[in-house]
């Protein structure tokens, strides 16, 4: 496929994406609910739209949607796409004109249009030009509306419900980030940046609660980078860790002391309780003594250098014995000399 033909195919695909997006969203009220109530105060319309793309060989079929429009709301009849904002409107007699700016990650285009009302409905045309789906494009949209009855629009309620649901989702997400002290969610321009103050208040509170070894273990289990959260909020993580280690030492919680958080304590306590002691240490001291051997003599030497009587963390298997030597040993036991 030639370069020009390939570029044409990409442009055609981009046209189709934009066209479908605009036609599905025509008008905005089509995405909202309504009750087909003959006594309703709003108006039920059949809206038909057809796209005209200069230089495009494929024809887009016309499409009709039934929509409920608030009576007297001209803006509700304006075709809209994602990321579009109406920036200007004007009505003179039965002629209504408007302008939109449409901008998001892939689009940056301007749309201008007008519609004219008559005894049986309305008809209009909108022209779009600019970058669409990453391509420079130009297209027009013809549309018309025919009133078919009355209805009760639930557009405002639907928008309010969707907004409330979205806000609740964001709030739940941010509260979860606060609970787990996930600093990444509270950086500038991130989802929960507005709740940074609440996040740092939670970090300060954790600086106290994590002085309890159980709370410390629980939090570091949920968030392995909690140290950075403390730093982001100006809290002293080392002081909190030291307090937890001191409390664990006083309670004889050697599992916590030997967990890798309290190596300064391990060096001092290990020197007194583990180094050079004869006999087997108390089982409760195994985590302390194992960690002491690891950080003072190296993990490789840990098994051979463990305190007397203490089972090594990874005991080496006994060496295999030569079968001939086994036979000699048995003979020695049988002979009287």
pLDDT in tens, 256-271: 999 999 999 999 998 8
Q: How confident is the model at residue 184 (pLDDT cuts 50, 70, 90)?
A: very high
In a domain, 34, yes or no: yes
pLDDT in tens, 203-254: 999 999 999 999 999 999 999 999 999 999 999 999 999 999 999 999 999 9
Same domain, 144 and 171: no
Mean pLDDT in residue range 282-290? 89
Same domain, 141 and 185: no
Instruction: State which of 153, 175, 194 marks the end of a domain.
Output: 153
In a domain, 159, yes or no: no
User: What is the predicted pLDDT for the residue at 25?
Assistant: 42
Same domain, 123 and 247: no
3-state secondary structure of 205: helix
Mean pLDDT in residue range 182-188? 94
Same domain, 149 and 7: yes
User: What is the predicted pLDDT for the residue at 271?
Assistant: 87
Q: Give the count of domains, the chain.
A: 2
Same domain, 38 and 90: yes
Same domain, 83 and 170: no
In a domain, 315, yes or no: no
Contacts of residue 231, defined as CB under 8 A and 6 or more positions apart, other chains included, come to 237
186: tokens are 């509270």
Size of the chain in residues: 337
More confident residue, 190 or 59: 190
Calculate helix-pair angle for 237-250, 263-273, nearest 10 degrees. 30
Same domain, 138 and 254: no
Average pLDDT, the chain: 78
Q: Please determine, for residue 28, whether its predicted confidence score (pLDDT) is greater than 70.
A: no
Residues of the domain holding 260: 164-305
In a domain, 207, yes or no: yes
What would you report as the CA-atom Rg of the chain, rounded to the nearest whole angstrom? 37
Mean pLDDT in residue range 67-93? 79
- The DSSP 8-state label assigned to residue 206 in this structure reads H
Can you tell me which residue has the tokens 């570091």? Answer: 220
In a domain, 326, yes or no: no
Same domain, 11 and 140: yes
Same domain, 122 and 239: no
pLDDT in tens, 108-161: 899 999 999 888 788 999 999 998 877 888 889 899 999 888 888 777 777 788
Distance CA 123, CA 213 (A): 72
In a domain, 14, yes or no: yes
Mean pLDDT in residue range 159-187? 91
């Amino acid at each position: 496929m030639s370069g020009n033909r390939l570029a044409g195919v990409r442009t055609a695909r981009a046209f189709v994406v934009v066209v479908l997006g605009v036609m599905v969203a025509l008008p905005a009220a089509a995405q909202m609910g309504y009750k087909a109530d003959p006594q309703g105060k709003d108006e039920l319309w059949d809206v038909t739209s057809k796209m005209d793309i200069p230089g495009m060989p494929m024809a887009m079929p016309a499409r009709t949607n039934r929509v409920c429009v608030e009576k007297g709301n001209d803006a509700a009849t304006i075709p809209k796409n994602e990321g579009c904002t109406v920036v200007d409107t004007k009505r003179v007699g039965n002629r209504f004109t408007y302008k939109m700016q449409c901008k998001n990650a892939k689009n940056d285009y301007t749309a201008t249009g007008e519609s004219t009302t008559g005894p049986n409905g309305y008809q209009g045309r909108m022209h779009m030009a600019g970058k669409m789906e990453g391509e420079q494009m130009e297209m027009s949209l013809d549309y018309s509306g025919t009133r078919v009855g009355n209805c009760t629009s639930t557009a405002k309620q639907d928008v309010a419900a969707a907004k409330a649901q979205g806000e609740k989702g964001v709030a739940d997400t941010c509260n979860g980030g606060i609970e787990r002290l996930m600093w990444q969610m509270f950086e500038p321009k991130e989802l929960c940046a507005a709740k940074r103050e609440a996040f740092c208040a939670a970090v300060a509170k954790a600086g106290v609660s994590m002085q309890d070894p159980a709370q410390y273990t629980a939090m570091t289990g949920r968030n392995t980078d909690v140290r950075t959260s403390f730093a982001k909020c100006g809290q002293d993580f080392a002081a909190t860790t030291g307090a937890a280690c001191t409390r664990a030492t006083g309670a004889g919680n050697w599992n916590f002391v030997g967990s890798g958080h309290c190596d300064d304590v391990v060096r001092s306590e290990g020197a007194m309780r583990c180094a050079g002691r004869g006999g087997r240490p108390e089982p409760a001291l195994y985590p302390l003594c194992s960690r002491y051997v690891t950080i003072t003599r190296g993990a490789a030497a840990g098994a051979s250098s463990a305190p007397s009587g203490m089972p090594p963390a990874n005991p080496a298997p006994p060496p295999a014995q030569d079968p001939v030597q086994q036979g000699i040993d048995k003979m020695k036991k049988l002979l009287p000399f």
